[in-house]
Amino acid sequence: MSGGVVKLKIPESITVEQEELHADLADAARAGGAVGEAAQAVARILHHHFVREERFAMPPLSLLRPLSEGQWTPEMAEALALTDALKRELPRMLEEHKSIVSALKVLAAVAGQEKRTEYAWLAQKLIHHARMEEDVLYPAALLVGEYLRLRQRAART
């Protein structure tokens, strides 16, 4: 990354995982019956949450590798607008996770009752994904912002 505008793009590993989870949830929503209804309820809650994540929570993570390798350009500070938005929105996003996890627990229970173990497993994967975001991805994105702010200050002095 040298000079110019920094293109913040969600890391491919995250994009692939989220696309797989979306596809699996869409499959569950088409399953019909109580499983389908429960999956549709999860999808409704998740949609706006994923949009917010894709807008400002995940793109700063694209800077983790270059920053960890010692790369730095002043243009990277463009990500501060995103990490500042994440910091403001984090309480709301964590509350959404509570609603999402509650809906996923319903999906897991219904899937268990209907002997649809693949959808119970999907619900557990999505719960794990939410916890991973809370424990790793969101804090990492916030740390990117803090590091950028420090580098920006150091560059000014």
- Structural Rg of the chain based on CA atoms: 18
The contacts of residue 45 (CB under 8 Å, 6+ apart) are 96, 99, 100, 103
Per-residue pLDDT band at 6 (split at 50, 70, 90): low
Q: HSE (CB half, 13 Å, CA atoms) of 42? A: 34
- Residue 116: left if φ>0, alpha if ψ -120 to 50, beta else—which one? beta
Q: What is the pLDDT of residues 30-61, one digit of tens each?
A: 999 999 999 999 999 998 899 999 999 999 99
Query: For residue 68, how many other CB atoms are within 10 A of its CB?
Result: 9
Q: Within 13 Å and on the Cβ side, how many CA atoms surround 73?
A: 13
82-130 residue pLDDT tens: 999 999 999 999 999 999 999 999 999 999 999 999 999 999 999 999 9
Residue type, 25: L
2 has a pLDDT exceeding 70? no
State the pLDDT at residue 86: 97
